[in-house]
């Protein structure tokens, strides 16, 4: 049976992978993005009913993060529109160990629609598709909280879990915490990428204030700086985030993808090759 499924953030790290899998399985997928028609914009709620029209199931990922100010109100408004439009199932991506994000989770779980929460640890893909990529390409990675380990989870595992939830019963009201199979520090990560790519990568531990000042010098947007500072202070150092779970295996019936497997696949793309000046 074909489902009409809306994937918010359908061009992002998890949304793109979810949309591809659902399309391959023959479902009707609508991408929720500002560049689509109809466009979905978190700051333009008047346009949401048109995007949700005829939709049966929805994957929600909030940009930049459920922890930022305004996310709670936006999620509350979205669930109301979803209910009015007759959406039957919601899956929301949340962050492991984020108190603010958990408030958004509760809104979704209590909105009167069948719902599931997927709480993810930090993504492995942060090192190839996000803010840690540039330093790796440049050969010098300077980061705070050098000794804080994290069980990095592969975005492909997240996508497979979400697809399984969207297409099968028995997941309503549940919260799944997705992690990789082991803990790694930033130094461990950089060493693995260096070995696989055959590059000399230098890792430099710095303080959080030095990192924040560097972001300001790069003139990153204030909300991005706030979020990254929040993630380093409240999430990475949180003991809850340094626990390996078996929820990927519980849902998929197989172990999660190991970081070394992610590295072996990613190095084939050449993304970690040094930047070439033209």
Residue 176 lies in a domain: yes
Q: How far is CA 39 from the centre of its chain?
A: 21
Predicted pLDDT of residue 275? 64
Query: What is the SS3 assignment for 175?
Result: strand
| 3-class secondary structure per residue, 61-95 | CCCCCCCCCCHHHHHHHHHHHHHHCCCCEEEEEEE
In a 3-state reduction of DSSP, which class is residue 195? helix
Q: What range does the domain containing 60 cover?
A: 4-122+152-180+241-257
Number of compact structural domains in the chain? 1
| Residue 218 maps to a domain | no
Within a domain: 186 = no
92 is a domain residue: yes
CB atoms within 10 A of CB 113: 18
Digit-coded pLDDT (tens) for 105-134: 999 999 999 999 999 999 999 999 988 999
Domain-embedded: residue 192: no
- Evaluated on CA atoms 28, 29, 35, 39, the torsion sign reads positive
According to the model, what pLDDT value does residue 276 have? 47
Q: What is the pLDDT of residue 183?
A: 97
3 state SS of 275? coil
CATH code for position 161: 3.40.50.720
Does residue 42 belong to any structural domain of this protein? yes
Q: Summarize pLDDT for 3-53 with one digit per residue, the tens.
A: 999 999 999 999 999 999 999 999 999 999 999 999 999 999 999 999 999
Helix ranges restricted to H, the chain: 13-24, 48-52, 71-84, 99-109, 133-138, 155-167, 186-197, 208-217, 222-230, 247-252, 259-266
In a domain, 137, yes or no: no
pLDDT lower than 70: segments of the chain: 275-278
């Amino acid at each position: 049976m074909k489902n009409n499924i809306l994937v918010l953030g359908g061009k992002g790290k998890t949304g793109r992978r979810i949309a591809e899998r659902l399309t391959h399985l023959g479902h009707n997928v609508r991408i929720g993005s500002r560049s689509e028609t109809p466009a979905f914009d978190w700051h333009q709620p008047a346009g949401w009913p048109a995007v949700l029209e005829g939709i049966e199931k929805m994957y929600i990922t909030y940009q930049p993060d459920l922890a930022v100010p305004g996310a709670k109100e936006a999620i509350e408004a979205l669930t109301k529109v979803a209910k009015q439009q007759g959406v039957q199932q919601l899956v929301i991506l949340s962050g492991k160990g984020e108190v603010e994000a958990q408030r958004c989770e509760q809104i979704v779980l209590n909105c009167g629609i069948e719902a599931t929460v997927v709480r993810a640890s930090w993504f492995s893909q942060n090192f190839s598709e996000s803010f840690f990529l540039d330093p790796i390409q440049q050969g010098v990675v300077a980061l705070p909280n050098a000794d804080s380990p994290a069980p990095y989870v592969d975005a492909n595992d997240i996508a497979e879990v979400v697809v399984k939830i969207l297409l099968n019963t028995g997941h309503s009201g549940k919260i799944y915490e997705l992690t990789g199979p082991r803990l790694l520090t930033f130094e461990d990560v950089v060493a693995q990428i260096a070995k696989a790519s055959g590059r000399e990568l230098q890792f430099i531990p710095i303080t959080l204030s030095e990192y924040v000042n560097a972001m300001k010098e790069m003139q990153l947007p204030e909300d991005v700086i706030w979020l990254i500072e929040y993630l380093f202070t409240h999430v990475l150092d949180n003991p809850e985030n340094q626990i390996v779970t078996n929820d990927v295996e519980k849902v998929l019936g197989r172990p999660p993808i190991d970081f070394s497997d992610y590295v072996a696949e990613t190095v084939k793309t050449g993304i970690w090759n040094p930047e070439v000046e033209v």
